Amino acid sequence: MTDKIKYFVQQSWLLIVSSFCFGLLLAIANAAWSPRIEQNRINKLNALAGRLIPEANDFVPLEKMGVTIEVTTLKGDRKKVDIYKAMAGEQCLDWTFNAVGPGFQDKIELIIAVDKDFETIAGFDVLASNESPGTGERIKEKDFRKQFEGKPTVKLELIKSGKAKDNKILAISGATISSEFVVEIINHYIKEVREEMQKKGLLGNDKE
């Protein structure tokens, strides 16, 4: 048995050393690039928020106000949500927050905007997605996203045909599953974030 182990080590030492060095290089590269990757994500989030609420001249993170919001995700674990207060001068116009859930191919991450009282959806955009090109990726298209603008923050309902009125959202032809995931993510996160913000005393007619 000892001879077999010795033979194995002699034959595979280069592979073992190479694997160790490669793993070490990956760890170093990840540590070096992580801050830049996260900053790029924040920059994209801010750009999308500005597009959703062009009237706002500032987006103040709740964390800057000493408030952290955690919600129960669709997977059942607890996750911190990045929430921003969209401001026009001293006036709060809307709230924006990120939302993550499963997609057809991989996870879908959205940025959602709602009015200051959490009664109306101002819109949403896609922060990250790996849905199927030509079908599922159409959740990024303006025609689909525009349906959500002005919708009440009650539970949205996905329909396969008909008109997108009241709380109804018309699914993308050929991408019904991806459409379902977007509606599910938005329904879930609006409910969770609203409840957590109410607990923190951040919502109400007298809150701005």
In this model, does residue 1 exceed pLDDT 70? Answer: no
Q: Is residue 173 part of a domain?
A: yes
Q: Is residue 77 part of a domain?
A: yes
Q: Is residue 80 part of a domain?
A: yes
In this structure, the number of other CB atoms found within 10 A of the CB of residue 197 comes to: 22
How high does pLDDT run on average in the chain? 83
Q: What is the pLDDT of residue 32?
A: 52
Q: What is the pLDDT of residue 47?
A: 72
Residues 60-83: tens digit of each pLDDT: 998 888 899 999 999 999 999 999
Element (H, E) at 126: strand 121-128
Residues 9-45: tens digit of each pLDDT: 555 656 666 666 665 565 565 555 555 654 555 566 6
Q: What is the pLDDT of residue 64?
A: 85
Structure tokens at 135: 């079908």
Q: What is the pLDDT of residue 5?
A: 59
Q: Is residue 3 part of a domain?
A: no
Q: Is residue 161 part of a domain?
A: yes
In this model, does residue 154 exceed pLDDT 60? Answer: yes
Cα separation, 9 vs 73, whole angstroms: 46
Q: Is residue 186 part of a domain?
A: yes
Q: Please give the full DSSP string across 128-191, using - where no structure is assigned.
A: E--PPTTTGGGGGSHHHHHTTTT-BSS--EEESSS---TTEEEPPTT-HHHHHHHHHHHHHHHH
Q: What range does the domain containing 185 cover? A: 49-199
In this model, does residue 85 exceed pLDDT 60? Answer: yes
Number of domains in the chain: 1
Q: Is residue 155 part of a domain?
A: yes
Confidence (pTM)? 0.77
Q: Is residue 28 part of a domain?
A: no
Q: Which residues contact 164 (CB under 8 A, 6 or more apart)?
A: 147, 170
Name residue 2's amino acid: T
